[in-house]
Structure 1
Amino acid sequence: MEHRNLGRTGVSVSKLCLGAMMFGAWGEPDHDASIRIIHAALDAGINFIDTADVYSAGESEEIVGKALKDRRDDVVLATKLYMPVGEDADPNRRGTSRRWIVEEVEHSLRRLGTDYIDLYQVHRPTPDTDLDETLGALSDLVRQGKVRYLGHSTYPASLIVEAQWVARDRHLQRFVSEQPPYSILTRGIENEVLPTAQKFGMAVIPWSPLQGGWLSGRYRKDADVAGPTSAARQRLTNRYDLSLPANQRKLDAADQLAQLAEETGITLIQLALAFVLNHPAVTSPIIGPRTMEHLESQLAAADVVLGDDVLDRIDEIVAPGSNLNPADGGWQSPALEPAARRRAHAGS
């Protein structure tokens, strides 16, 4: 499989990244079955694996650790922190404070069965925590050898720039990658995030290139769509509820895209992954198979190149820079929450 540079780090990663969210209670609960999928991906040439502490309350990290027991040195291993793990309600056991970062990295290292993490990522923006606090703690982990590189996920362009400036001005380790939501149905990052990442020489590792199953071929206008099948996706009703107009727009687009794929002579999965892969700013889209069949169907997209005529048709179906359902963007600025938009009325 072709390899690409992980930003300007000098590290080489496969053009597809294996996402581990579906390994464990959220997807495939059988550890042996999950390990077989991981090994098959490695045997196919993938050397890049992404997981997170929150996936199945740490179980995903444990499964990945088991799978890599004798193959750790061959893999660029990425994980994430920020969200509460399991049912813990303690507000100090989440986020990106120095207190939590220093504690949680040890839990991830233990679950992964390794003494270092190649790419340690902030899972979502944390506007209530000073970037100097977060980057200071993460930089210490790099100096200690527990982490090699730093990344973030679902950051808006303004925060990407701010984080780069904080690292420069405070002489801290900088973030080398961004992990945004990106698919044919969710193209909002084309406006500013992708150009900004390119400006700073950052790797881009898109999550959900198949839009959580919407671009797998299951969602067709003439099909009986039962909704998401995994526990992870059943929690995201606003992204799947077909009574919502935004999701009806996704259904219409998915149907047109499936027809385009048939006319092109490829599967919808191949069309969707190739679309993301072909963007010059993208490093490695994350595929998230739950079964061996899922893995095989997604690996088949690695060498597909879309012609300009196909890309033009895609642009007609979903306009560049647009998200058909804003909820698919993964994060919304607190400034847009209803309470923050209220205007105070001056008293008489």
Structure 2
Amino acid sequence: MRYRQFGKTGWRVSEIGFGGARIGGLLAKDGGRASSLRTLEAACDAGINFYDTADMYSQGESEVLVGNAFRNKRDKVFIATKGGYCLPKRKRLIQLIKPFAKPIVRALGLRRSAVPAALSAPLSQDFSPGYLREAVEASLRRLQSDHIDLYQLHSPPREELTGSRLQDALELLGRLKTEGKIREYGIALDSVYDAVHCLDMEGLASLQMPFGLMDLQALDGVFDKVSERQLGIIARGCFGGGALKQSLTETELRASEPQWERALQIKRLAEQMQRSALEAALQFALSVERISVTILGMRTPEHVATNLQHYAAKPLSNEEKRALLAR
């Protein structure tokens, strides 16, 4: 595993990081506790030292699993989590009954598609200092840690980023840093175009944003501006949200992916390079030196092994990169 500087923090983080959105969950396939812990252990054994989760992932269970995995080797990893989404009462109830419900769910073979719409409704957000302090304390308990390495505001909408209220949240995070509860703080963005609104915010250590062969907008000067501020860059979604999986047919892509033509183009180019599309996508992300860490979602030890194979592949040549960049 190779490591990169994380902005101005002085941290050395693994080039690929573990995305914790897919571990845990009442209806997650292959999402049992033992399997998730083996997955986290396999990633750590491979040298991955950056783990990105959030308090909303699997109603907090993702944080619990990360905490269990690293409670005895806390100094070996960087744990990044997020807050700002509010868990509705009905989902908090699910969190409480989950240990008893999981065996029933597995026995019945239920899937996410069986979740009632009322339980999968959009979540509200709260970036007030009072709410965030409680959220940080709750994350610390789930992570079984006395500190969080990187605490990120989770997808604040543009009106929050451009308004004045977020300053109160940043001041609170600054106080939590002084108290030692968090080491650094940043923002996880839904759009690279929101990065410009964060560049002059005081105290930020990082920005997380979507980037990959199907999300190239950050190359249009965004990464340059973020790097000039010495902020760590966390890239996510380099696999196009699953659109680059080999198993997806053209018919399935047309039905599910607005950029289906781009996905097919990438797959054809990768085949000509004698690579899989996922390998080409990861190697492309790794070729962007400004990125501090590329987050990959992993749910099973097999996912870890496959991602490590993509990581160990031969880097893209300049000719291959030019071909993949052609739009």
Please tell me the TM-score bracket, short chain as reference.
0.7 to 0.9
Q: State the 1:34 CA deviation.
A: 0.5
Aligned to 2:24: 24
Matched, 1:294 2:303: yes
Aligned to 2:98: none
Q: State the 1:88 CA deviation.
A: 6.2
Higher helix share: 2
Compare 57-66 and 127-136 and name the one that shifted more. Answer: 127-136
Contact 2:189/2:195 (<8 A) preserved: no
Aligned to 2:200: 165
Aligned to 2:139: 108
Contact 1:54/1:83 (<8 A) preserved: yes
TM-score when normalising by structure 2? 0.82
Matched, 1:119 2:154: no
- CA RMSD after TM alignment: 2.5
Matched, 1:308 2:318: yes
Matched, 1:71 2:73: yes
Q: Deviations over 1:15-60 (max 9, x none)?
A: 0000110001164430110110100000011011000011011011
Extract unaligned runs of 5+ from structure 2.
93-122
Q: Between Structure 1 and Structure 2, how many residues are aligned?
A: 291
Which of structures 1 and 2 has the larger relative contact order (alpha carbons within 8 angstroms, sep 6+)?
A: 2
Matched, 1:203 2:232: yes
Residue type matched to 1:131 in 2? Answer: L
Residue type matched to 1:277 in 2? Answer: L
Q: 1:179 aligns with which of 208, 224, 228?
A: 208
Aligned to 1:137: 172
Aligned to 2:42: 40
Secondary structure of residue in 2 paired with 1:205: strand
Aligned to 1:283: 292
Q: State the 1:87 CA deviation.
A: 4.4
Q: 1:261 aligns with which of 270, 276, 291?
A: 270
Q: State the 1:86 CA deviation.
A: 4.8
Cα distance in 1 for partners of 2:62, 2:124 equals 19
Extract unaligned runs of 5+ from structure 1.
168-173, 226-239, 320-348
Cα distance in 1 for partners of 2:31, 2:315 equals 35
Go from structure 1 to structure 2 and tell me whether the alpha carbon gap of 1:94 and 1:253 turns closer, same or farther (over 3 Å shift): closer
Aligned to 2:189: 154
Cα distance in 1 for partners of 2:90, 2:284 equals 39
Cα distance in 1 for partners of 2:62, 2:201 equals 32
Q: State the 1:160 CA deviation.
A: 4.2
Q: State the 1:93 CA deviation.
A: 8.0
Aligned to 2:9: 9
Higher strand share: 2
Q: State the 1:281 CA deviation.
A: 1.6
Go from structure 1 to structure 2 and tell me whether the alpha carbon gap of 1:93 and 1:267 turns closer, same or farther (over 3 Å shift): closer
Cα distance in 2 for partners of 1:209, 1:158 equals 17
Identity of aligned residues (%): 31
Residue type matched to 1:49 in 2? Answer: Y
Aligned to 1:217: 246
Secondary structure of residue in 2 paired with 1:287: strand
Go from structure 1 to structure 2 and tell me whether the alpha carbon gap of 1:157 and 1:276 turns closer, same or farther (over 3 Å shift): closer
